[in-house]
Structure 1
């Protein structure tokens, strides 16, 4: 049996060489790919969530993998419709649909995702950053920050209902260009048409990628790669002209005067002309023989930067409109696709404000000034929007829903929310604007603790106040220490998060996913031994949603399996079927504990 590393490595190499992918369906018979898929997705929040059947990751086993492979080999594997639920959007309070597949479907989709990603990843555009290994929002923003200097216009792209509008027939035909296996393509086609259940009523899916599907992001990237190639191979060459801009004659004249008077020893006059020159660009920003077009995409969000007249940006917008409509059957949103002047306005991309900076006096290292460099900002509206979550009528409020949690959990929760926001906006040069949000969140935190323990705010500060050292700096914050017998204590802290701007920060959305050794859980499952009684019959894995679920078992008479999972700090326990059924029935484990 070939290992998943070997299989995916060979697929990756074919993709790199531009060779077609053949006999793909047979790869779905490889058990090692399913073990790798299981090791990737068992931690996902939705792993314990039911689809239209009761099946979840709980009771996962090698036997289940064999059952899936047999069904695929015999042609009896069928995609179930997903169960549709609605979750709130990040903005506006509106709800968006989410599809919940069954566990077996998730596992097969992850195997398909690994195969497709291994093949297409070396073929994707360098300007595409969404849902790709070792790439993310920050790599997209860094590309803009480092390569778009001098941009005059931004074109903010918005495709109407992009992921809901992907044409099924066109997607399969795009896949068919490189994947020469009709059985595998038919499997994808059936997945696209599997439909969904809402209020137990079946609905067909006539377009779009599977909602909530693990394979959906890579399918969307394959579809939108056509857009990337069109922009890179047609639009950018058509709107690129000249080797470099002409010199600005006025700047050159002032610079020459400055050098002339400096040679004569008249330093004051030399400095005067130098200061005048600093207020001007060294190159001609209106050079009619110079054009540059830049492009970056993250999923369905994309941005074009252009050096040249506005009329050409409008022409680019029209060309994109036609291409999307005629070749990809997608619509460019007329109201949300905006042309923005880079110097006087900001474009909004991936939650940041993007603008061309102009400051004739500020120096950066050896550079004269920051004119034309791209700056990334935390939008004022983002800070205001986040503040509202912790305020009522302009004042910080306690969060009633958190008062049922421990003080440790409450402090850790607030710190996690704040650190996540700071880490995301680490590229913003006005990162310190989040300081006002920190104060609002801190007041909300102490009021939540005060409401829980019926204390005053000053009493909360006296109880939890602590000095925190982080990155060599000392901060005043709040802290809870939870002692553990024979182990280092657990510490929850509020504070100690630096607001230092880091123009090179990278926060990868997708860590490397293709290669690497087996996860610990894969090894434990393959050991084929019950971790309670030691038997080797009918082995499967018991899963819980979160470690805190173990805390409902209190007192000295905790079940043995609870003690084992708590001691190992794991959400999984490899068991035989008898022990597993005893756990779910709430019975004491009938088999004797393994001496090992």
Structure 2
């Protein structure tokens, strides 16, 4: 009965989303004035809770976790939220500031804003309702933080365009994008589709909720904190203006491929690339954004020996050979040096703790396999094989060191062949599809 009830809830949510998407697609100028009552629907709140729970994460400034709410009672928790939304007494709390390492090799950190669980649920419910409306407008050039769109599709688009002979690339990065979003301009863009004052008020409250760091609350004047459930959608709404203008005025210069705040423009020649850069800077100026000077550059794939990194892959135009030794040119896409380092760190973290010495081989394999499969699913492109073999070899070495430490052997790398035989018999997955 519970499973049937859950399926009915999902079906109702999907029906609402489909209805909103189709109506928005049919009329690009329609503005929605009655969405707020959908946000506090019981089925929407329950679906929002499920998604927030599946995302996991730590507590916000109140330190209340998912487990705390399950102990308290999920239905009771959602009814209380529903009452607050109906009565207009819901007020978001400031987000909790924390920092995660950036993969820039400089030891710098990226700021995250962690909302309390209650705010995450309300944000998710709002996202469920309003996202289909904006999805009807979003352009095909945008791949990040969107349903049914992903990084692999963006990589495929790059491959297609370069293999058409478009060998000039603008590799761009927006400087401190999430911290630079202008609230007033963002709300104007939201209002192009949403006229429901209560929805607009909710979004405005989240933008201005503030940030708590070291016990002090800082006012939010600009930006949408990374870590918020609705922040990715708001960031796409803001940059949709860029996508729209590019498609309308500048698409003849080159193809735009954007993933969140990272994007490339692939052009036929130098002149097009030069004019594209001017156009990009002009649009960014209108949005009060700046390109990162160190991460934005031109690449001539035909003459360049460096290529470019995008979405964890290095892209380089290279000469290859078929099995019959016929030469051909192709875009080689394989894990970048940063991605390789990140994969190694991901594996290293598993073996770092001395507690792993208490585990047996099967336990360790159970921990590693989901990580290996996740990396393989993302990085297994046509020319990734040799790089993935290197990570497989790194895993073998780490397993051998662990095996010898566990047995108090003096030589860290001895018996590597025997260890490899054991771990693969026990079911360890490989990143490279075929053994090196």
- State how far apart, in whole Å, the 2-side matches of 1:318 and 1:442 are: 49
- State how far apart, in whole Å, the 2-side matches of 1:316 and 1:401 are: 53
- State how far apart, in whole Å, the 2-side matches of 1:424 and 1:76 are: 44
Please give the per-residue CA displacement for 1:6-53, whole angstroms capped at 9, x wherever unaligned: 32222112222223222122222311101111222212221xx22111
Please give the per-residue CA displacement for 1:526-549, whole angstroms capped at 9, x wherever unaligned: xxxxxxxxxxxxxxxxxxxxxxxx
SS of structure 1 residue aligned to 2:172: strand
- State how far apart, in whole Å, the 2-side matches of 1:496 and 1:219 are: 38
Please give the per-residue CA displacement for 1:384-417, whole angstroms capped at 9, x wherever unaligned: 67557879xxxxx963455355233323334444
1:399 maps onto 2:352 in alignment: yes
After TM superposition, list the pairs within 5 Å mapping 1:211-250 onto structure 2.
211-237=226-252, 239=253
Per-residue deviation, 1:354: 1.7
Aligned to 1:76: 89
Aligned to 1:32: 43
Unaligned runs of 5+ in 2: 1-7
Aligned to 1:106: 120
Equivalent residue for 1:179, pick from 185, 191, 194: 194
SS of structure 1 residue aligned to 2:175: coil
Aligned to 1:203: 218
Equivalent residue for 2:111, pick from 97, 122, 136: 97
Equivalent residue for 1:51, pick from 60, 80, 85: 60
Per-residue deviation, 1:131: 0.8
Unaligned runs of 5+ in 1: 240-292, 392-396, 467-476, 481-492, 502-596
Aligned to 1:375: 332
1:16 maps onto 2:25 in alignment: yes
After TM superposition, list the pairs within 5 Å mapping 1:468-547 onto structure 2.
477-480=423-426, 493-499=427-433
SS of structure 1 residue aligned to 2:54: coil
Structure with the higher helix share, 1 or 2: 2
Residue pair 1:398, 1:447 contacting (<8 A) in 2 also: no
- State how far apart, in whole Å, the 1-side matches of 2:198 and 2:347 are: 53
- State how far apart, in whole Å, the 1-side matches of 2:104 and 2:432 are: 27
Matched residues, number: 411
Per-residue deviation, 1:321: 0.7
Aligned to 2:294: 335
TM-score, normalisation: structure 1: 0.64
1:352 maps onto 2:352 in alignment: no
1:433 maps onto 2:394 in alignment: no
SS of structure 2 residue aligned to 1:154: strand
- State how far apart, in whole Å, the 2-side matches of 1:95 and 1:330 are: 21
Residue pair 2:389, 2:431 contacting (<8 A) in 1 also: no
Aligned to 2:3: none
Q: 1:165 to 1:213 in 2, by over 3 A?
A: same
Aligned to 1:248: none
Residue pair 1:151, 1:356 contacting (<8 A) in 2 also: no
Q: 1:151 to 1:500 in 2, by over 3 A?
A: farther
Per-residue deviation, 1:235: 0.8
Per-residue deviation, 1:370: 3.4
Aligned to 1:122: 136
- State how far apart, in whole Å, the 2-side matches of 1:78 and 1:27 are: 18
- State how far apart, in whole Å, the 1-side matches of 2:180 and 2:363 are: 41
Residue pair 1:159, 1:331 contacting (<8 A) in 2 also: yes
Q: 1:138 to 1:364 in 2, by over 3 A?
A: farther
SS of structure 1 residue aligned to 2:237: helix
Per-residue deviation, 1:330: 0.6
Aligned to 1:301: 262
- State how far apart, in whole Å, the 2-side matches of 1:315 and 1:384 are: 36
Per-residue deviation, 1:199: 1.4
Aligned to 2:15: 6
Q: 1:219 to 1:458 in 2, by over 3 A?
A: same
Per-residue deviation, 1:461: 6.5
Please give the per-residue CA displacement for 1:72-116, whole angstroms capped at 9, x wherever unaligned: 121110000111122222342322222221111111011111112
Q: 1:435 to 1:497 in 2, by over 3 A?
A: closer
TM-score, normalisation: structure 2: 0.85
Please give the per-residue CA displacement for 1:490-516, whole angstroms capped at 9, x wherever unaligned: xxx324444369xxxxxxxxxxxxxxx
1:316 maps onto 2:276 in alignment: yes
Residue pair 1:14, 1:21 contacting (<8 A) in 2 also: no
- State how far apart, in whole Å, the 2-side matches of 1:413 and 1:343 are: 43
Q: 1:50 to 1:152 in 2, by over 3 A?
A: closer
